[in-house]
């Protein structure tokens, strides 16, 4: 197999960043190529369309995050600690991005999903799929927390849906308002939503 190329990866990273920092519709294939330092012909050698690239880029983005999430949501960690660690990581990442590009970007999956779900079924399904995977982490943490008696959530799935919706809504608000405080306050909001007693939070 002659020639090793990192053009495909560079295109996916460039697409993720540009689309996150503006939008899918406002990001052109040319923009992505320039940022990735890859010529247009190479773009269409690796991806059959802009939509095709975005689907691959979303999956690659998730795969990268998944590794961290598997650590944070490890069953060896107390369930409320998992959620606390997750919100800490999220705040750190958003703060980092804010420093780099001057704005709060929110959730890259939800943002593009909301934008193109009525235009591109492939992207819609990919985003739906990825958000479903994220929900699984929340669900098992909630189920474990209920089993340990630190929260009352007989229906873990329903409670996870509540939490995920609150989470996504807050991320959307943070983006629209360009307001990091929304994200900073999310941990407290999540624990309030879960009905966590302050006593349970000692050391978390």
* Sites for DNA among residues 42-101 (CB under 7 A): 42-46, 48-51
Please, which residues have CB within 8 angstroms of residue 142's CB and are 6 or more apart in sequence? 79, 151, 153, 156, 159, 160, 163, 194
CB 140 within 8 A of CB 72: no
Give which of DNA, its own copies, none residue 1 binds (C-beta under 5 to 8 Å, depending on kind): DNA
For tokens 């492939």, the residue is: 122
Residue 128 touches DNA, criterion: CB under 7 A: no
**Of 129, 131, 153, 121, residue with least CA distance to 140:** 153
Rule CB under 7 A: choose which of 12, 13, 17, 27 binds DNA.
27
Between CA 118 and CA 125 the distance in angstroms is 11
User: What is the per-residue binding string for its own copies in 96-125, x denoting contact by CB under 8 A?
Assistant: -------x-xx---xx-xxxxxxx----x-
* Sites for its own copies among residues 17-36 (CB under 8 A): 21-26
Note the residues at the interface with its own copies (CB under 8 A): 21-26, 103, 105-106, 110-111, 113-119, 124, 127-128, 131, 158, 161-162, 164-170, 172-173, 175-178, 182, 189, 192-193, 195
């Amino acid at each position: 197999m002659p020639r090793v190329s990192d053009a495909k990866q560079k295109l996916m990273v460039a697409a993720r960043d540009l689309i996150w920092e503006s939008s899918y519709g406002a990001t052109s294939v040319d923009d992505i190529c320039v940022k990735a330092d890859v010529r247009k012909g190479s773009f269409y050698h690796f991806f059959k369309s802009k939509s095709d690239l975005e689907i691959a880029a979303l999956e690659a983005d998730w795969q990268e995050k998944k590794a961290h999430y598997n650590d944070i949501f490890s069953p060896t960690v107390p369930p409320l600690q998992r959620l606390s660690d997750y919100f800490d990581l999220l705040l750190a990442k958003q703060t980092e991005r804010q420093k780099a590009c001057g704005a709060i970007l929110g959730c890259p999956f939800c943002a593009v999903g909301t934008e193109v779900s009525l235009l591109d079924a492939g992207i819609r399904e990919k985003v739906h799929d990825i958000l479903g995977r994220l929900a699984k982490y929340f669900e098992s943490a909630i189920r474990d927390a209920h089993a340990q008696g630190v929260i009352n959530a007989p229906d873990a799935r329903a409670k996870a849906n509540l939490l995920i919706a609150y989470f996504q809504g807050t991320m959307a608000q943070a983006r629209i308002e360009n307001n990091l405080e929304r994200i900073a306050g999310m941990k407290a909001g999540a624990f309030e939503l879960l009905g966590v007693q302050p006593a349970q939070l000692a050391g978390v």
